[in-house]
Every structure is written in C-alpha cells, then in structure tokens.
C-alpha cells in the first residue's frame, strides 16, 4: 500500500514538472536564448506548476513513511508554507515601498 501511494505521488509530481516545462516551451514566442529573467512570454504561472511538481515529487519520501492523513497535512503545509514566503515578503515590502 505504501509503495502504491509513493508511486502515485512520484507520478503526479513528474506529470506536473513535465506539464509546467512543456506549457512554458510551447507558449514561448521568442527564439533568443538570452538570460533576461523576466519577460512576458511563455505560459503564465508555468514555473509555479513545475515547482509544485518538484515539491510533490520530493514529498514521496513522506508518503512512504507517514499515514495518508498525516502525509496530506504535510504536503499542504509544504505547498502553503512555500507560497506563504512569497505572500509575506510581497505584502510587507509593498506596504513599505514608496
């Protein structure tokens, strides 16, 4: 049972990583391989999709060791915690910035 659960988590994570990268590449309208980090191209929010994929794939270790309910709580904590870092930093700095 634990290994089936782990396998499902790994597959879901992989799917998100592949989907995130593919969507970005398919929607990219530029051909230049230059390191301009922020440019309005590619599929919007696709970096977030593959980052979520990475988090989920890593959480397979937890899926293998914890009961399902606890694993889901951990996964939620990791995802929300990660996004919360951005939300907190953006909120605080946007209040202070002129």
Of 8, 80, 84, 90, the one binding other proteins by CB under 8 A: 90
Nearer to other proteins, 8 or 44 (CB): 44
| Number of neighbours of residue 76 by Cβ within 10 angstroms | 10
Q: Which structure tokens are listed for 30?
A: 């530029």
CB 48 within 8 Å of CB 8:
no
Distance CA 15, CA 82 (A): 20
Residues found near other proteins in the complex (CB under 8 A): 2, 21, 24-25, 28, 32-42, 44-45, 47-48, 50-51, 54-55, 58-59, 61-62, 64-67, 70, 73-74, 78, 82, 85-86, 89-90, 93-94, 96-98
């Amino acid at each position: 049972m634990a290994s089936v659960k782990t396998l499902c988590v790994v597959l879901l994570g992989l799917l998100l990583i592949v989907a995130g990268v593919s969507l970005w590449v398919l929607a990219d309208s530029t051909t230049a391989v230059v390191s301009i980090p922020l440019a309005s191209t590619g599929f919007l929010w696709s970096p977030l999709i593959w980052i979520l994929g990475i988090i989920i794939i890593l959480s397979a270790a937890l899926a293998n060791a914890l009961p399902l309910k606890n694993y889901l709580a951990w996964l939620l904590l990791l995802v929300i915690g990660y996004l919360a870092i951005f939300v907190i930093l953006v909120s605080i700095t946007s209040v202070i910035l002129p």
